[in-house]
Structure 1
Amino acid sequence: MIKVASYNMRKSIGTDRRRRPERTLQVLCEINADIIALQEADRRFGARDAVLTSHLLAEHGDWKPVLFGMRARSMGWHGNALLIRRDAEVLNCEVIHLPSLEPRGAVVADIRLRGQVTRVVGMHLDLSGLWRRRQAHAVIAHLNASAQHPPTVLMGDLNEWSAGSGCLRDFAQHFTFAATGKSFHARRPMARLDRIMVTPNLTIQACGVHESLNARTASDHLPIWAELHPA
């Protein structure tokens, strides 16, 4: 079994408008997932520095970032990042360039953890429904074109407010959604913007939204999580 989580951490700016990376890490420690997809993990301007520095990760958690090598001081790609257990092995990693009007991308990595290989995709899709569908098609096409098809989990902020149309309908043709629940807005959740999806060779044993006091103040999104077993 592996536990995965997805969190739009909003550059560690909380609902109190304070940037507190340590609080973000406290939330991640509460969830205690093996693999975490982060969105808005880098600062927006300048060198796009990672908000969660290697020093903070070493002090507060049992994770290391997957290094995609796109920017020297960034954790991921267009704010998307993956954290994995320190004893996990990265077999392969790459970025997916997504069609968009503003900078958007996704990250993908094959991770070996406790003898199990899992492909993980992290993404943050567009505010526009038309572009979200184009981006969903790009992610699906990228995975379909792969020579290997290990058990795969896709996670991220899809920005989809509908119950089952738009990009959700596109993804549902290939993946099963975890019934995690409403994650936005953190203070009063009204929408399921954040999603976890898996291929048929993974079984969702449990899932949910993490609603601690820290989580309700650390970002405008609540983290979501799922426990997965090979089917």
Structure 2
Amino acid sequence: MKLKVASYNIHKAVGLDRQRDPDRIMTILREIDADVIALQEADRRFGLREAVIPRATLDDHSPWRAVEPGHYDRARTGASMGWHGNALLVRREIEVAEACAVPLPTIEPRGAVCATLRMGGALVRVVGMHLDLSGLRRRQQVETVCGHVAGHAEPGHVVMMGDLNEWSPSGGALGAFAAPLKVLAPGRSFPSRRPVAQLDRIVVSDGLRVEGLGVHHSPLAAVGSDHLPVWAELVLP
């Protein structure tokens, strides 16, 4: 069984042309055509923090649905699509067994979302996250997310992905992902116009075979956000 996953910091749908264009983001997501997509900066920053992609656009004109992470404070998050700007989109035919928000230790507002997907007889836990600018906080946040995933009683495969804000190619907070997790390097994804850094990463458990991975380059992706999307094609045993 194959599963294509992708991660994309959509910069609140504001492109390099300074235009907020949710339809452009949706077109880029269709170009990638992944089964599960982790979005970062998917909500507006102020006020009710509404989702920048209208629910009607997602529900009526896409093959995905947004995972409901079970907010800790519905009144504060308002019309958010996820948790602190993190959202998971899942292809409609995939069963979501459970989902939750994962609070992260931080000074600035950060969080992660976790969903358990049932695919045939296998469980796949997917985490979308956007980590801190501080190196110390990033490591603490990785440890928190790994602890959350390890705390599930029912075993399953693991996919973690997002904007990790880690400039080191192999050190820093990446060292907190302990075996049996493998940190993948799809390629340079930031800044989108002329990428020099691998800030966007995908982390998988060793039971998943990686069939392909990369950075999505297209004319729209080059201007749609300050990050490029990353993706990986996985094979479930």
TM-score normalised to structure 2 length? 0.94
Contact kept? 1:77, 1:106, Cα under 8 Å: yes
The range that moved more, 143-152 or 185-194, is: 143-152
Name the SS of the counterpart of 2:226 in structure 1.
Answer: coil
Any idea what SS the aligned residue of 1:204 has?
Answer: strand
2:96 matches 1:90: yes
Are 1:41 and 2:39 counterparts? no
Alignment: residue pair count = 231
Taking the TM superposition and a 5 Å limit, the aligned residue runs for 1:38-187 are 38-70=39-71, 71-113=77-119, 116-187=122-193
Alignment check: 8 A CA contact 1:87 1:113 kept: no
Pairwise CA distance, 1:211: 0.5
Q: After alignment, is 143-152 or 184-193 more displaced?
A: 143-152
Bigger mean CA deviation after superposition, 9-18 or 167-176: 167-176
- Asked whether the 8 Å contact 1:16–1:217 carries over to 2, the reply is yes
Instruction: Write out aligned runs for 1:188-207 (5 A).
Output: 188-207=194-213
- Give 1:52 shift: 1.1
C-alpha distance in structure 2 between counterparts of 1:223 and 1:104, whole Å: 20
Query: For the structure 1 residues 86 and 115, does the alpha-carbon distance in structure 2 shift closer, same or farther, using more than 3 Å as the test?
Result: farther
Q: Which residue of 2 aligns with 1:12?
A: 13
Identity across the alignment (%): 52
Cα deviation for residue 172 of structure 1 reads: 4.7
Q: By how many angstroms is 1:107 displaced?
A: 0.6
Measure, in 2, the Cα distance between the counterparts of 1:59 and 1:188: 34
Over aligned residues, Cα RMSD in angstroms?
Answer: 1.3
Q: In the alignment, is the contact (CA less than 8 A) between 1:12 and 1:218 conserved in 2?
A: yes
TM-score normalised by structure 1 residue count: 0.96
**CA distance 1:31–1:116, shift in 2 (3 Å):** farther
Amino acid at match of 2:213: C
Amino acid at match of 2:8: Y
Q: Secondary structure at the match of 1:213?
A: coil
* Deviation digits for residues 164-199 of structure 1 (CA, Å, limit 9, x no counterpart): 111111115441122310000000010000000100
Structure 2's unaligned 5+ residue stretches are: 72-76
- TM-superposed CA distance for 1:205, in Å, is 0.6
Q: Give secondary structure in 1 for the equivalent of 2:220.
A: helix
Q: Which string of whole-angstrom CA distances, capped at 9 and with x for unpartnered residues, describes residues 130-167 of structure 1?
A: 10011111111111222122011000000000111111
Whether the aligned pair in 2 keeps the contact of 1:25 and 1:60 (CA below 8 Å) is: no
Q: Is the 8 A contact 1:88 1:114 kept in 2?
A: no
